[in-house]
Structure 1
Amino acid sequence: MRILVILDPLAGIKTYKDTTYSMMVAAEARGHEIHVCEQREIALDGGRVVARLRRLHLTDATGGALDWYRLDPEAVAPLAAFDAVLMRKDPPFDMEYVYSTYLLELAQRQGARVFNDPRAIRDHNEKFSISEFPEFTAPMIVTRDPVRLREFVVEQGEAVFKLLDGMGGASIFRARSDDPNLSVIIETLNRFGERTVMAQGFLPEIAQGDKRVLLIGGQVVPYCLARIPKAGEARGNLAAGGTGVARELSARDRAIGEALAPVLAARGLLLVGLDVIGECITEINVTSPTCFQEIRQQTGFDVATLFVEALERATGAASGS
């Protein structure tokens, strides 16, 4: 199988923890070819969606070497020439990302197999998409009305505010109804009614971790990674200083995963990362879900190989083809 991976610059990849790196290691171990390009190297040219790319050869699969890859000379090829195209560009999900989904969607019509499905990525805002599954969520509202945001905090006693295009725990605020900074928080995020904000009832179980539950090919990975907030923090995101602790899924984690997995897989979302706090889902990550390596390192469960096997099934390819 020939796989094209659209990813961030190779020089910035931290091989000891990067999920995309672990995918490439697992794919090459199963006999597949890896080709890479950056988001900016995809184009519509001559009526075809093409990429300026290079074949990648792993020279170190341990995650410890600085010089861990070798690249063949640059080439240009249509995306439809590959058995699978993996969109692994990290957020932010900005307009450039949206434009890339347009290109990838056109590439699909030209015969490419893209994972995750670009239309599904566009349709599943990672914050708002939980609204489809209210039986698994904490109380929440999404609004531009600053008065309603304040009322919600009063109703709940304590709430978390976030922007719909936020990432990595950025611009997340926790506020109580008696917080003297409540007005400032709302004004900062909402810009006096100019920007849409999500508010969720505060979940004190965040102290035990913000759990990343992975869904792969409609299956639930049996381990999650609980991101434990550092002292004085209410955010468990690893990017915000949280510590990752791998755990077996609780009964509730599994119930949430098993309810959502077939629905999301049917929409072309091969890999999904659910964020679960306590018994509630707080986000559905579809752009570039992570935590493969932390789970493998702490439990021995090989998430990356499970992913490549699911990719093989989705494309009808066999190991070593």
Structure 2
Amino acid sequence: MLIMEKYVFDVADRARLNSALGCVFGAFIGDALGSALEFKNEISSEMLAEALEMKGGIFGNGHGQVTDDSELAMCIIHGLNDTLPKFSAESIAKYYKKWVLTDPFDIGITTARAFNLFTTKNSKFSQWATQSARNHNQNSLSNGSFMRCSPLAVYCRKLSIEDLIKVVTKDVTMTHPNEIIIQSQIFYVIFLSHLIENPQDRSGAWTKARQYLNSCNDEVKSWVKDIEESPPMLATNHIGYAKIAFDHTFRQILNQEINFENSMRQILLKGGDTDTNAAIVGAMIGAYVGYDELPELWKQKVENFDSMTMEGIPRNKKFLNQTLVKNLIIRIFTEAPQILEEIN
């Protein structure tokens, strides 16, 4: 039984929930699709067609099985649920530690460096991760924090910009302490959260994000300027660079015509870090079109994949069970706070 049956939603909140679910499942779908094409410089029409059937990825993951991008998002989902409506970076970090101990079949270099102390610590996991990231990842501009953050946009949908900044910064800095990444991801989550709370209001989301941009450093401002004035970035140069997904995400959401399947086709054809780029684009386009407009086949494969019972890579931990995600996102949406209260 879906948890939403416990709640009564008016018409406006049903539209918002549709956007919230579209955001998270859009990211998961992008991850699962992109895992079939990762790190390829050229994508043929035949390769794309096969990837769009969502028959698994290069790691041996099953039909609809996600990779580290969405497994880390599931850590956030469970960490948030454990303390709702309060926020605890430590709660999220506990799941990051649990995830590291599962011996993930894929993990980014920046993330691995930040989490390398987890196996030897018994408490204060968020502090240790943040310190390790500060020591080892100060210059990293990789996309590993962007790819996991869609649940934060759902949680932050009612928060002030000041409180949203606190939440996003607490999570980002556990792996990516560089100010360019912090600020650009805040820009991204501001846009996402506005779309969730104000479905399909691209203009309002862009205005709100650009207001925040006034306080950003020159490099982040240049990222936004390049979207408006420069050609699209190549995805096969500097694979994993966060600006690539940032650039293509905002080009797509600012287009006149938006279609989720077409968006996936476009970003996958770029090659490079296809699962992460598609996850980051997918969260944005999914938030805009809403859960109901996501292609049914992709939705069903991702939602119903159970890594404990289905063919693919065994992931024998309950918090990595994709079949639980929908109910948990509904709960995060329903209990999202208006005022942030942090706990350890």
Identify whether the pair has TM-score above 0.5, normalized to the shorter chain. Answer: no
Give the TM-score taking structure 2 as reference length.
Answer: 0.29
Give the TM-score taking structure 1 as reference length.
Answer: 0.30
Q: Greater strand share, 1 or 2?
A: 1
Larger Cα-atom Rg: 1
Higher relative contact order (CA 8 A, sep 6+): 2
